[in-house]
Structure 1
């Protein structure tokens, strides 16, 4: 094969990957965000299941699921402290 053909094919492949790969990144971010929201909702569910033995519950909504999902256990602890200190 001639070098011009190889360089043209590589250039076309790079261009194709740029065109096809560009829309995939925002979808990946949306997917990761949705997974984190689900994990946060599960953390809140288990907190409410365990807290029901002590008469404690924390509402499961979009904000609390986002905080506990994106921040993890420290976010869940912060929500509990905020609920106990500020709201109650």
Structure 2
């Protein structure tokens, strides 16, 4: 009976270890997924804006800075870049 409890405790500890390790790796993946989603949405809005903005004389350049801002902030970053572009 003593060996059965030891085996159950060992399996329980192993399962807990698997959950803890997976928790450590899932958090950064959620952050990375959010960054990718923001980047895609920002790029889509930038492409659409540049397509329709050419008729009004507005264009936002695609470079490292705009890509970084859109990747981090997403749509609010696009709006911020647009406001800066209009006022400058």
Q: Is TM > 0.5 for Structure 1 vs Structure 2?
A: yes
Task: For 2:7 and 2:23, locate their aligned partners in 1 and report how far apart those are by CA, in whole Å.
Answer: 24
Q: Does 1:11 align with 2:7?
A: no
Q: 2:63 aligns with which of 61, 64, 73?
A: 61
Q: Does 1:77 align with 2:79?
A: yes
TM-score for the superposition, normalised by structure 2:
0.70
- Give the alignment's Cα RMSD to 1 decimal: 2.5
Moved over 3 A (4+): 1-4, 68-74
Query: Which consecutive unaligned segments of at least 5 residues does structure 2 have?
Result: none
Q: Does structure 1 conserve the Cα–Cα contact (< 8 Å) formed by 2:36 and 2:71? A: no
Structure of higher RCO (CA pairs closer than 8 Å, 6+ residues apart):
2
